[in-house]
Amino acid sequence: MSLKLQQLYNILIIVLSWLSLTLIGVRDIKRFFPATLIIGVIEISTARIGKKRKWWTFYNKPNSYWFNELPFNMGPFIFISLWTLKIAYGNFKKYLLINAIIHAFFAFPFSFFAKKIKYYSLVRFNHFQFFMYFFLKAPLLYFLQFYLEKKKLFGLFNQR
């Protein structure tokens, strides 16, 4: 894949993800964004570790976090977290099922496709490990949201 095409993909995944924000609703954004932000910071930290340990690699240069992983973290990861909380918070089984489907899609067919078009490929992770890398953050996000609502932190959760 050419560098210009990767830049276009990076821009598209961020813009399309942020456009979905208009469909979520202000009250749900206020309710779910603090937990999503915390899990986003955790994801950014683990992605930086994964880059150093070469769990995956991106084909194009510059081989930097800002150019390669950040568009996924600032785009789909944040908004998938918001959407799954909006759709399934309150039903833990449904929440886990939705997360499993989304992360399985990303870890399997999307990663195969990304390798085929030379966007990124898994190096020291197999596809199942990549799935678990994302999926194991789902219960953490759910319980973070539960904790924040229970403690009524930030004064934002009284609006339902």
The CB density around residue 156, as the number of other CB atoms within 10 Å, is 16
Residues 33-43: pLDDT tens digits? 999 999 999 99
Percent of the residues in the chain that have a pLDDT greater than 90, as a whole number: 52
pTM reported for the whole predicted model: 0.83
Q: How far is CA 156 from the centre of its chain?
A: 23
Looking at residue 63, its pLDDT comes to: 72
- pLDDT tens, residue order, the chain (160 aa): 777 888 888 888 889 888 888 888 899 999 999 999 999 999 999 988 988 899 998 887 767 677 778 888 888 888 899 999 999 999 999 999 999 999 999 999 999 999 998 888 999 999 999 999 999 999 999 999 999 988 775 555 555 5
At 36, the amino acid letter reads T
Contact indicator for 43, 73 with CB cutoff of 8 Å: yes
- For residues 112 and 117, give the distance between their C-alpha atoms in angstroms, rounded to a whole number: 9
- For residues 81 and 75, give the distance between their C-alpha atoms in angstroms, rounded to a whole number: 10
Looking at residue 89, its pLDDT comes to: 94
Looking at residue 140, its pLDDT comes to: 95
Tokens of 57: 């690699």
Measuring CA to CA, which residue among 72, 45, 40, 73 is closest to residue 144?
A: 40
**Full DSSP string of 69-132:** THHHIIIIIHHHHHHHHHHHTT-HHHHHHHHHHHHHHIIIIIHHHHHHTTSEEESS--HHHHHH
At 96, the amino acid letter reads L
Tallying the residues shown for the chain, one arrives at 160
